[in-house]
Amino acid sequence: MISFTYLEPKSVDEALDLLARYGDEAKLIAGGTGLVNLMKQRLVHPMYVIGLRRISGLCAVQDDGALRIGALCTHHDMETLTLVREQVPILTETFQQVASIRIRSVATVGGAVAPADPNQDPLPTLLALDARVRLRSQREDREVAIGDFFTGYYETVIEPDELLTSVIIPPQPGGCGTAFLKFLPQTHDDYATVAVAARVTVDGGRITDARVALGAVAPTPIRATAVENALRGQMPIAPIVRDAAALVADAVDPTADFRGSAAYKRDMAVVFVQRAVAQAVSRARWGA
């Protein structure tokens, strides 16, 4: 068993003080669904584990034009809060598909984002929504676009003395439709073979904007910009969506494992991009 010292700050300032003091020797824990598994596999060996559960200020959702989601909000909060469902329905749709209620009741939003696990369901949705993350340290308080946040496999721009305090969802375009789909051949607790989030805006009978993002098919969650570019300015009809979705095959970089070969995952990426975009188009056209 890994030996470590457990610390439990009661405020953000106290947590930042501990991070400044211990830096790379410390790891943060909230729900524990991620860090505990990494420690069991001996992939991380922290000397200090900083528990965040007693910091009450990080578990609120606020709407001040943008939707500000505290890092300690649980997945279950995201699937049940009326404010989230009314403002950004794809968030509800995404989080209610994560694993089981047992996991969703303890796993946190910050815990889904900060470790940069490319298999986490919420990440492609946050990419499609142009989300930002807020990072605090004793040095500064900054916001980073989610597209600039992930730098590699389990790697981000977070510095050792920084704490992810919230995820910010900007106002979404009028007339847009969204969809989140994933292919899950194993149990609900398993990672998806591919996960796709799409946001499509339709105006005047044409697609004026598109966001398509994928998880579980590359070292980081990715935006399918070739698909997006192929959709813009086009009529929202099945042949256009099908041809645009085919372009994602060149954008993904899947790894073969027990969920399927790389070629199989690439094919599933095409299929699920097509389905997600078609669903988003339908919702945009009918105001769903």
Q: Per-residue pLDDT for 18 more than 90? A: yes
For the chain, give the percent of residues with pLDDT over 70: 99
The predicted-structure confidence for 67-93, as pLDDT tens digits, reads as follows 999 999 999 999 999 999 999 999 999
Mean pLDDT of all residues belonging to the chain:
95
The predicted-structure confidence for 31-75, as pLDDT tens digits, reads as follows 887 787 778 777 788 999 999 999 988 999 999 999 999 999 999
pLDDT at 187: 74
The predicted-structure confidence for 113-136, as pLDDT tens digits, reads as follows 999 999 999 999 999 999 999 999
Q: Which of 47, 79, 43 is nearest to 61 (CA)?
A: 79
d(CA 18, CA 5): 12
State both tokens at 83.
């404010």
d(CA 20, CA 35): 20
Q: Per-residue pLDDT for 286 more than 90? A: no
d(CA 15, CA 200): 40
Please, which residues bridge with residue 143 across strands?
134
**Tally of helices (H runs) and strands (E runs) in the chain:** 12, 14
For the chain, give the percent of residues with pLDDT over 90: 88
The predicted-structure confidence for 141-162, as pLDDT tens digits, reads as follows 999 999 999 999 999 999 999 9
pLDDT at 40: 78
Q: Per-residue pLDDT for 288 more than 70? A: no
The predicted-structure confidence for 186-242, as pLDDT tens digits, reads as follows 777 789 999 999 999 999 999 999 999 999 999 999 999 999 999 999 999 999 999
Q: What angle do CA 235, 240, 244 make, to 5 degrees?
A: 125
pLDDT at 197: 99
